[in-house]
Amino acid sequence: MRAGFSLAETMMALGLLSLIMVVCALLGRPLGIISSRTLARWEMQQQALIALGAVRSQLLRSGPLGISAHSEILAINPYEQPICDNSGNVRWARQIVVYFRYQSELRERHWPPVGAGDPSPPAFFQSVALAKKLDPPLLLPLAHGQAAHRRLATGVTGFEIQGILPNGALQQPLKLCLEMQRAGRRREFQRSVYLAASP
């Protein structure tokens, strides 16, 4: 009766183990690359869905008269709560929510409050009876001011609002387009929004 392994059996087992480890190492690298790309794509998709969901949510809280856009800037003036006063007149909030692309980020900010370097709000911002529709000269400084903002997405290469005509009228549905890039891959995400007519 033999006890233990012979030298040939041990060498055979070590050779087989080495071969298995080399194969695992060769397969592990591509699997790691695929896994990191999948994770980057998943993160990009999650950020896009959350960002477009935030913009869509604000759009649904407003009406066509409260929407302003220029280039990659969208300003939304939501309805005041309750929407109508005792006489049935529509009430608009005294604040707007601005979405814009700054460098490679999609940002959200509320205006006013007025921060350092921001333009002062026009007098009609004090009235709840008027929708706050802003012209491009007033919109542009809002996208570059120093006031606090919230970053909604990173890796953004484009932000577009389709359906707003040059005269400011809306063509339903509005289409929100967000283009992002991660790990050398570029994707475009879109979301459609139907706005209800003002009450």
- Judge whether 189 and 178 are in contact, CB under 8 Å: yes
All structural domains of the chain with their residue ranges: 36-193
pLDDT at 117: 56
**Bridge partners for 159 per DSSP:** 178
Sign of CA dihedral 136, 137, 138, 139: positive
**Bridge partners for 188 per DSSP:** 179
**Bridge partners for 185 per DSSP:** 182
**Bridge partners for 164 per DSSP:** 170
pLDDT at 10: 86
Say whether the peptide bond before residue 82 is cis (omega within 30 degrees of 0).
yes
d(CA 112, CA 109): 9
SS3 of 23, please? Answer: helix
Q: Which of these, 160, 155, 152, lies nearest to 187 by C-alpha position?
A: 155
Strands 73-76, 170-182: parallel, antiparallel or unpaired by DSSP?
unpaired
pLDDT at 174: 92
pLDDT at 155: 93
pLDDT at 176: 94
Which residue matches tokens 């007033």? 138
pTM of this structure: 0.78
Sign of CA dihedral 119, 120, 123, 124: positive
**DSSP label of 6:** -
- What is the residue-level pLDDT of the chain in tens, covering all 199 positions? 566 778 888 888 888 888 888 887 877 777 777 777 778 888 899 999 999 999 999 999 998 888 988 888 999 999 988 888 888 888 888 888 999 998 899 999 988 764 555 566 667 677 777 788 888 888 888 777 666 788 999 999 999 999 888 777 788 899 999 999 987 889 999 999 998 776 6
d(CA 21, CA 78): 61
- Judge whether 159 and 93 are in contact, CB under 8 Å: no
